[in-house]
Structure 1
């Protein structure tokens, strides 16, 4: 198996392991969201009516999903309640903390070595993560070391810790990154990171779904 295929397989397995089952799309209920915003600000229908210039009966009908507000009405709601219009379309979420935590001590990450990269995966005890952090020592020096682009699901953030890195991507000119530089990009776009310094560069990579 080629080094590129090994890397693609590695990312595919990790992302598949972290991917949660797809949830059905929630129907947007503007009335429910409006009522939550109003009650959160401790406003009665009368008070909200005075702030927005909309009749109390109109507000009641919107909150009970009996009528759909026009754009002009939504503008009045946003201005009167001091919110942005998109907040009326954002489904309310209940924040629940499960208190998850995973400390990875120095040199204790899960190692994955290929001829091009030496990956050290971090926070490996947590499953269903939205992010996959890992350190990588880059051995590769050119595109030919891979033979083809690497592509996988998600978006990535790359931060240079040691050395000098060149990020190659199929839609952009090569970007040279020095210590302290970073880049965020779509991982579905063909990409590669190579060392252009005398020593093998060290980077922090974070892949997010």
Structure 2
């Protein structure tokens, strides 16, 4: 049986859902600038100091009372440390799909391999953008693997119990303890071996980046 869960379950390969064209609202430049300022956590006074625009002028721009000149736009982009095109990106209306899948403790779908004992989570949802699963790391030595594990996407893992040695193709091995985590490019060869007395338990989340 393959150590790579993606080889054994091709139907579980992550896929982006087809999406309809977003509902685009008319661009309101002042509102866009106010949104950017809010995302940066800046008050009007702080934004004024950064951009060199008077506080009253900035307030009028944000409230659509006046239109900013090109020079004012340059000051805004420079002071807020953003690219000019970001000021013109229209907001997109977010439409909730209402997808949800609860997996009770111990009720995931088991998938044992020679080196891991996987428990697949959220298996009722298809075409997921993320693939979560828990794993017991049975491997105890590097040479228990026939080859590097690699697949599309990026991956995040969190050590829930025990400790592991994390091997990766382009980095020195590193030991991860309970509570430690790592985020990495999954196309890079990688593998884990338990170093704790009991087999380590980890949470894995794989995301498609294409």
The TM-score normalised by the length of structure 1 is 0.72
Compared with structure 1, are the counterparts of its residues 151 and 77 closer, same or farther at alpha carbon in structure 2 (3 Å cutoff)?
same
Partner of residue 169, structure 1: 168
- Specify the alignment match of 1:197 in structure 2: 196
SS of alignment partner, residue 176 of structure 1? strand
Q: How far 1:145 moved relative to its partner?
A: 1.3
Equivalent in the alignment of 1:42: 63
C-alpha RMSD over aligned residues: 3.1
For residue 17 of structure 2, what is the aligned residue in structure 1? 20
Q: Which runs of 5+ in 2 are unaligned?
A: 36-61
Q: Contact 1:12 / 1:152 at 8 angstroms: preserved in 2? A: no
Shift of 1:89: 6.1
Which runs of structure 2 are paired with 1:168-187 in the superposition (5 Å)? 168-187=167-186
Change (3 A) 1:158 1:33: farther
Distance in 2 of aligned mates of 1:15 and 1:91: 33
CA gap of 1:39–1:150, structure 2 versus 1, over 3 A, is closer
* Matched positions, count: 178
Unpaired runs of 5+ residues, structure 1, are 59-71
Task: Name the SS of the counterpart of 1:3 in structure 2.
Answer: coil
Deviation at 1:42, TM superposition (A): 3.3
Decide which moves more: 127-136 or 87-96.
87-96
Pairwise mapping of residues 40-189 of structure 1 onto structure 2 (< 5 A)?
41-44=62-65, 47-49=66-68, 54=69, 74-78=73-77, 84-85=82-83, 87-88=86-87, 90=89, 92-189=91-188
Matched, 1:10 2:8: yes
